[in-house]
A = this chain, B = another copy of it.
């Protein structure tokens, strides 16, 4: 079991093989056993199998091939719409149009997503998370017809693996663990913790390819730039407002 978690690799290439309804249903059911605040289950999962829908979603994930090639695309959403509708039909006045409620629902959605991924991997499937969901949440909302109270948080593509991936590196455990209180990171500890990553041949190659001096510059100047982050932050905050989560 722990071995399954330890063996996780992101899979971006899938065989041309469907996931049968029974398997998918089993995976999604395992997802719903994840912890959820107050057992409210304030999330929804949009299942995309249709090629036309995949083609529509594809540009919002920057054309990454997984969307069109995976048999199943799952969009995990923070969702207070259903819960609010239940409250309203039960003579109860919901107060979930605020930022805290958005975070509560986002947490719910993410715990379910991770359970679904692990369940999928236990069935021999491969998964890939797409961070693009939050960048283009406005467009995904229109495409998937998400009502007020619903915000897409992350997308996962699932399929039978058609590649043998090397496992990617991680920082040493001590780099991300703190005992009792937050430790300070000295320059020496930063050097130590990031050394393995910086000396991997693939990362050295990556820096060269991108004509940068350091690996960190590949992140700040190319992969996750301040300019993009600000653009996407504005879109996302507009989305929260429009979907009714900023009324405090």
The interface of chain A, by Cβ under 8 A from chain B, is: 1-2, 4-8, 10, 25-35, 37-41, 43-50, 53, 79, 81-83, 85-87, 89-96, 98-101, 103-104, 106-107, 110-111, 113-115, 117-119, 122-123, 127, 129, 131, 134-135, 143-147, 150, 153-154, 168-171, 173, 175-182, 184-185, 187, 190-191, 193-194, 213-217, 219-221, 223-227, 229-230, 232-234, 236-237, 248
Please state the number of chain copies in the assembly: 2
Knowing A92-B221, A129-B35, the reply to whether A230 touches B41 (Cβ < 8 A) is no
Contact A34–B214 (Cβ < 8 Å): no
A111–B82 Cα gap in the complex (Å)?
24
Knowing A6-B33, A170-B33, A173-B25, the reply to whether A118 touches B118 (Cβ < 8 A) is yes
Chain B nearest CB: distance from A49 CB in Å?
7
